[in-house]
């Protein structure tokens, strides 16, 4: 092999390696993209049923039900048009309250209940996550999220 | 009256910054060197003005001057005095003033140490720093004036965000800003070299200690942020791939590439164009970080500003900086950037590989951070990128990086042979393999592979570092004396690399071996977590200076023996009406025991979070070692020698 060919081979291999790496990175990226849906989107069947997504809305007053023996909790999330029931097991963030806007990450179950892996609420009393504000149709103050997740 | 003096001083500083830009520019265009001399005194005077302005703001906080809107929004009479001082940079306006002050501080240091530089280069460096200062002072004065008065003045302030009432916040932002802003100095150097059309080896030697110093501050700042999140957010996480964390991590990664690339340019004269590009990139990413944090486009702990005008303003600064410097690079680059030569197996090659890997890591993080923002801005929907993406991609990229690090710190400059490298490093490779295999057998669970690979890489880095030390010292008449007479830069390199290994080990072991549980507990209950028994003893009320708290008492036993007693609190800050979790942590070298209160359920029953965190301290101890290494390297004698004997050093640099 001439030096020239050898160099071409090395460059070719490098390019191929970079191509494969880029493809793998983009695939990982795509698999971990989470889309945001409002309760109306979910009820309209727009949300995926096989992959994780984020849902946001206001916690309906009086809807928070806790199990008495475990840390399971169930509450209803509303965008003032439609509602979705969210189930979560674990500790809720400090500022989770009825009437507050929150965001949850998780999957939609076959029973139409959203199984949350993580619940996010904000460290401020006048909180409205921007996604929730938009889903509700009016802009709200941007804000801090705190997490509940393991 | 005093706040108005502060405002006046800021305006004066802006004028001085303008002098610092215009005089050298005019002088260079007209070829009159006398004009250049104005840059230095203007820069120094600007620092004095900003320091005094900053002092007036601190004073306003200390005397509770709530007629200032900024003070009224971020302080309170019940706030302890140390938090009143740190509240100065606890929100948007004040932190911009701190940014400007730190920039002026770096500029002052440059003017104190620039006698060794050619006069025109020194003037351009000062002018570029002045231009950055003009942008930020304009931004602060026109969109976010910390000295603005509110009428009528409220009787008491709205208090500092309770999350920020903590020692971590007192030190985290100044450290981070020292790092961010510090990268302005190598950036200014790169621009000066491009503007003047010369990039000598002396250039890299001069820029190195500055880049190292900025990098070490950024390292400490990021580690402090991670540590603060761990104990203050109350759920035991230490890194979330939160956009704001990414914003500080990206300049760090490129900064790491920069300090290594500068070493090659300094010693071998190679990689010049790459080094210049990295210097531009590291500072641009610092600006991007400021934009992400300050513009309110992000939802995070740090995003206080919500004014879109501010976002547009910073975006303009960012666009001008990146666009301007890259255009300059494209225009003048070819003139200044002739590189040295090296063979495919050499230290240069390994360093280049690592530089590229760091740049690719930065790019993948940039993709995950900025893509959702772009999609949102274009109105294509709300998306977010999950941490698994970052963990997977970044983790995989760290493997070749750590491997090349081991070879690279051992390989010779210019040319080496794979045979020699293998012969020297086979024991290190063996040790790494054995350590990895052992761990794979010891640890169970889904993260077994992560832990085994991580430990193998950590051992590989440490072992190859030790092999390098051995090779330098063993053959000498007195090995121990040889060890202690190594130059500081070499010691710094060894310590920083061991710190990096320690952080890798800490991350992987924490991920693999930690246990955490969410439990319902009432006083009298106990829960077994591994070998530790957590007992909830009692629940009491506790009154702090500006909060009310429920305080639990937990005792932790191992084999019936008391290990620790923890007092986690759930605080309620009265002024803001915010609850806060204050975790109880028993810190140890090999493990932390961590208890935090969730929420009251019924009666005295609480939801409680219990953690056994294995080796979590190693993550931050490793970062401290990296910073110590950076400090040793930055204070190496060769840079001080250049300071005293510029001519001789210049000659030596040309010979090598």
Instruction: Judge: B306–A142 Cβ closer than 8 Å, yes or no.
Output: yes
Residue B304 has pLDDT above 60, yes or no: no
Q: What is the pLDDT of residue B387?
A: 87
Which residue, B303, B5, B290, B256, is CA-closest to B132? B290
- pLDDT tier for residue B80 given thresholds of 50, 70 and 90: very high
Q: What is the pLDDT of residue A83?
A: 92
Structure tokens at B504: 């890798």
Q: Does B419 touch chain A (CB under 8 A)?
A: no
Structure tokens at B425: 């490093």
Structure tokens at A64: 């928070």
Burial bucket for residue B238 (CB in 10 Å: 0-12, 13-18, 19+):
buried
CA distance A124 to chain B (A): 7
CB B424 within 8 A of CB B449: no
Q: Considering only B71-85, B250-264, B267-281, B371-385, which range has the smallest mean pLDDT?
A: B371-385
Q: What percent of chain B has pLDDT over 90?
A: 60
Which residue, B175, B159, B210, is CA-closest to B99? B175
Q: Which residue has the tokens 């705190």?
A: A146
CB B274 within 8 A of CB B284: no
Angle, helices B119-143 vs B39-62, to 10°: value is 30
Q: Which residue has the tokens 């045979």?
A: B419
Q: What is the pLDDT of residue B160?
A: 87
Residue B556: how many CA atoms within 13 Å on its side-chain side? 21
Q: For A81, which DSSP code?
A: S
Instruction: Judge: B235–A70 Cβ closer than 8 Å, yes or no.
Output: no
Question: Tens digits of per-residue pLDDT, B16-49?
Answer: 999 999 999 999 999 888 898 899 999 999 999 9
CB B428 within 8 A of CB B463: yes
Q: What is the pLDDT of residue A2?
A: 72
Candidates A3, A10, A56, A71: best to mutate against B (most CBs of B within 10 A) is A71
- pLDDT tier for residue B203 given thresholds of 50, 70 and 90: confident
State mean pLDDT over B263-271. 88
Report d(CA A52, CA A58) in Å as an integer: 20
Tell how far CA A134 is from the center of its chain: 15
What are phi and psi for residue B542, nearest 5 degrees?
-145, 135
Q: Cis before residue B152, ω within 30 degrees of 0?
A: yes
Report d(CA B493, CA B496) in Å as an integer: 5
Q: Considering only B4-18, B325-339, B607-621, which range has the smallest mean pLDDT?
A: B325-339
* Residue B84: its H or E element: helix B81-86
Angle, helices B637-644 vs B201-232, to 10°: value is 130
Q: Count the neighbouring beta carbons within 10 Å of the beta carbon of residue B533.
A: 16
Instruction: Judge: A69–B388 Cβ closer than 8 Å, yes or no.
Output: no
Q: What is the pLDDT of residue A146?
A: 45
Between residues A142 and B335, which one has the greater pLDDT? B335
Write out chain A's pLDDT in tens, 150 residues: 677 787 788 888 888 988 888 888 888 898 888 888 889 999 998 888 888 898 988 899 999 998 888 889 999 999 888 999 999 998 888 878 888 888 899 999 988 899 999 888 765 444 455 566 666 654 333 334 444 444
Question: Tens digits of per-residue pLDDT, B114-166?
Answer: 888 888 889 999 999 999 999 999 999 988 899 999 888 898 988 888 888 88
Structure tokens at B69: 């809107």
Q: Which residues in chain B have Cβ-Cβ distances shorter than 8 Å to A144?
A: 163, 299-303
Instruction: Judge: A71–B518 Cβ closer than 8 Å, yes or no.
Output: yes
Between residues B469 and B651, which one has the greater pLDDT? B469
* Residue B529: its H or E element: strand B526-529
Instruction: Judge: B300–A144 Cβ closer than 8 Å, yes or no.
Output: yes
C-alpha distances (whole Å) from B611 to each of A65, A72, B471, B617 are 26, 19, 43, 14
Question: Tens digits of per-residue pLDDT, B498-518?
Answer: 999 999 999 999 999 999 899
Q: What is the distance between the terminal CA atoms of chain B, rounded to a whole angstrom?
A: 60
**Searching chain A, which residue's CA lies closest to the CA of residue B387?**
A32
Report d(CA B599, CA B606) in Å as an integer: 6
Q: Which residues in chain A have Cβ-Cβ distances shorter than 8 Å to B516?
A: 150
Burial bucket for residue B333 (CB in 10 Å: 0-12, 13-18, 19+):
middle
Q: Does A131 touch chain B (CB under 8 A)?
A: yes
CA distance B461 to chain A (A): 24
Residue B555 DSSP SS3 = strand
Q: What is the pLDDT of residue B298?
A: 57
State mean pLDDT over B574-590. 90
**Searching chain B, which residue's CA lies closest to the CA of residue A129?**
B299
Question: Tens digits of per-residue pLDDT, B337-388?
Answer: 556 678 888 899 899 999 999 999 999 999 998 888 888 777 777 788 888 8
Report d(CA B434, CA A126) in Å as an integer: 55
Q: Which residues in chain A have Cβ-Cβ distances shorter than 8 Å to B162?
A: 123
Q: What's chain B's average pLDDT?
A: 89
Which residue, B116, B105, B119, is CA-closest to B205? B116
What are phi and psi for residue B602, nearest 5 degrees?
-130, 150
- pLDDT tier for residue B603 given thresholds of 50, 70 and 90: confident
Q: What is the pLDDT of residue B378?
A: 78
Residue B311 region by backbone torsions, left for phi larger than 0, else alpha for psi between -120 and 50, else beta = alpha
Instruction: Judge: B382–A147 Cβ closer than 8 Å, yes or no.
Output: no
CB B333 within 8 A of CB B121: no
Q: Which of B303, B389, B581 lies at the smallest CB-CB distance from A94?
A: B581
Structure tokens at B231: 């104990």
State the pTM of this model. Answer: 0.91
What are phi and psi for residue B315, nearest 5 degrees?
-60, -40
Q: Does B609 touch chain A (CB under 8 A)?
A: yes
Report d(CA B424, CA B407) in Å as an integer: 10
Work out whether strand A33-37 and strand A53-59 pair parallel, antiparallel, or are unpaired: parallel
Report DSSP letters for B581-613, one per residue: EE-EEE--SSEEEEEEEEEE-STT-EEEEEEEE
Q: What is the distance between the terminal CA atoms of chain A, rounded to a whole angstrom?
A: 57
Report d(CA B352, CA B360) in Å as an integer: 12
Q: What is the pLDDT of residue B301?
A: 39
Instruction: Judge: A125–B577 Cβ closer than 8 Å, yes or no.
Output: yes
* Residue B554: its H or E element: strand B547-558
Q: Count the neighbouring beta carbons within 10 Å of the beta carbon of residue B532.
A: 19
CA distance B182 to chain A (A): 28
State mean pLDDT over B409-426. 88
Per residue in B277-300, is it b (16+ CB within 10 Å) or e — as a string? bbbbbbbbbbbbbbbbbbbbbbbb
- pLDDT tier for residue B300 given thresholds of 50, 70 and 90: very low
Q: Which of A25, A32, A125 lies at the smallest CB-CB distance from B386?
A: A32
Residue B160 DSSP SS3 = coil
Structure tokens at A95: 């500022």
CB B2 within 8 A of CB B62: no
């Amino acid at each position: 092999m001439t030096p020239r060919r050898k160099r071409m081979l090395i460059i070719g291999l490098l390019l191929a390696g970079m191509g494969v790496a880029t493809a793998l990175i983009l695939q990982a990226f795509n698999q971990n993209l989470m889309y945001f849906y409002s309760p109306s989107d979910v009820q309209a069947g727009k949300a995926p049923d096989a992959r994780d997504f984020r849902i946001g809305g206001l916690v309906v007053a009086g809807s928070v039900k806790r199990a008495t023996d475990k840390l399971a909790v169930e509450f209803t999330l509303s965008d003032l048009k439609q509602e979705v029931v969210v189930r979560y097991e674990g500790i809720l963030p400090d500022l989770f309250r009825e009437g507050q806007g929150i965001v949850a990450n998780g999957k939609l179950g076959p029973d139409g209940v959203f199984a949350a892996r993580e619940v996010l609420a904000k460290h401020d009393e006048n909180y409205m996550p921007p996604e929730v504000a938009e889903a509700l149709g009016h802009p709200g103050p941007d804000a801090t999220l705190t997490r509940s997740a393991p | 009256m005093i706040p108005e003096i502060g405002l006046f001083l800021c305006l004066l500083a802006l004028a001085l910054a303008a002098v610092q830009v215009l005089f050298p520019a005019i002088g260079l265009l007209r070829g009159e060197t006398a004009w250049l001399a104005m840059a230095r005194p203007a820069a120094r005077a600007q620092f004095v003005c900003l320091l005094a302005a900053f002092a007036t703001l601190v004073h306003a906080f200390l005397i509770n001057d709530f007629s200032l809107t900024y003070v009224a929004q971020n302080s309170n009479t019940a706030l302890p005095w140390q938090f009143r001082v740190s509240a100065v940079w606890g929100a948007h306006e004040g932190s911009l003033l701190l940014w400007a002050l730190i920039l002026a501080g770096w500029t002052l240091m440059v003017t104190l140490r620039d006698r060794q530089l050619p006069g025109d280069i020194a003037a351009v460096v000062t002018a570029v720093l002045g231009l950055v200062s003009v942008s930020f002072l304009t931004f602060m004065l026109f969109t976010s004036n910390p000295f603005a008065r509110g009428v009528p003045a409220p009787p008491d302030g709205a208090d500092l965000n309770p999350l920020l009432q903590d020692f971590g916040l007192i030190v985290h932002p100044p450290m981070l800003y020292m790092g961010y802003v510090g990268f302005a100095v190598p950036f200014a150097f790169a621009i000066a070299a491009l503007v003047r059309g010369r990039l000598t080896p002396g250039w890299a030697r001069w820029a190195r200690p500055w880049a190292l110093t900025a990098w070490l501050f950024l390292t400490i700042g990021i580690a402090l942020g991670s540590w603060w999140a761990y104990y203050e957010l109350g759920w035991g996480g230490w890194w979330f791939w939160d956009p704001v964390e990414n914003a500080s991590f990206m300049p760090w990664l490129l900064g790491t590439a920069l300090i290594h690339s500068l070493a090659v340019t300094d010693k071998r004269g190679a990689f010049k164009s790459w080094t210049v590009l990295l210097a531009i990139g590291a500072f641009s990413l610092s600006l991007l970080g400021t934009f992400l944090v300050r513009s309110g486009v992000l939802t995070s702990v740090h995003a206080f500003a919500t004014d879109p005008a501010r976002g547009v303003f910073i975006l303009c600064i960012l666009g001008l900086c990146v666009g301007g410097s890259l255009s300059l690079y494209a225009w003048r680059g070819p003139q200044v950037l002739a590189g040295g030569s090296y063979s495919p197996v050499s230290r240069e090659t390994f360093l280049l590989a690592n530089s590229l890997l760091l740049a690719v890591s930065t790019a993948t993080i940039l993709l995950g951070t900025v893509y959702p923002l772009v999609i949102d801005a274009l109105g294509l929907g709300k998306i977010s990128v999950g941490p698994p993406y970052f963990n997977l991609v970044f983790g995989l990229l760290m493997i070749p990086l750590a491997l090349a690090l081991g070879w690279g710190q051992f390989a010779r400059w210019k040319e080496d042979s794979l045979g020699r490298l293998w012969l020297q490093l086979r024991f290190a490779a063996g040790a790494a393999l054995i350590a990895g295999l052992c761990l794979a057998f010891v640890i169970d669970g889904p993260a077994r592979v992560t832990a085994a690979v991580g430990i193998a890489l950590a051992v590989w880095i440490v072992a190859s570092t030790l092999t390098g030390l051995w090779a330098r010292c063993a053959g000498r008449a007195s090995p121990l004396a040889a060890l202690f007479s190594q130059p500081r830069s070499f010691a710094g390199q060894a310590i920083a690399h061991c710190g990096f290994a320690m952080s890798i080990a800490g991350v992987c072991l924490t991920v693999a071996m930690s246990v955490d549980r969410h439990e319902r507990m009432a006083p009298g209950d106990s829960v077994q977590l591994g070998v530790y028994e957590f007992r909830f003893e009692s629940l009491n009320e506790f009154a702090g200076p500006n909060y009310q708290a429920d305080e639990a008492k937990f005792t932790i036993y191992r084999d019936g023996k008391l290990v620790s007693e923890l007092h986690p609190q759930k605080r309620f800050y009265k002024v803001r009406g915010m609850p806060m979790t204050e975790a109880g942590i028993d810190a140890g070298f090999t493990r932390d025991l961590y208890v935090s209160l969730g929420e009251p359920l019924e009666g005295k029953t609480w939801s409680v979070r219990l953690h056994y965190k294995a080796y979590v301290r190693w993550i931050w101890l490793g970062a401290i070692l990296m910073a110590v290494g950076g400090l040793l390297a930055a204070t190496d004698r060769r840079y001080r020698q250049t300071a005293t004997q510029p001519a001789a050093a210049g000659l030596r640099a040309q010979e090598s």
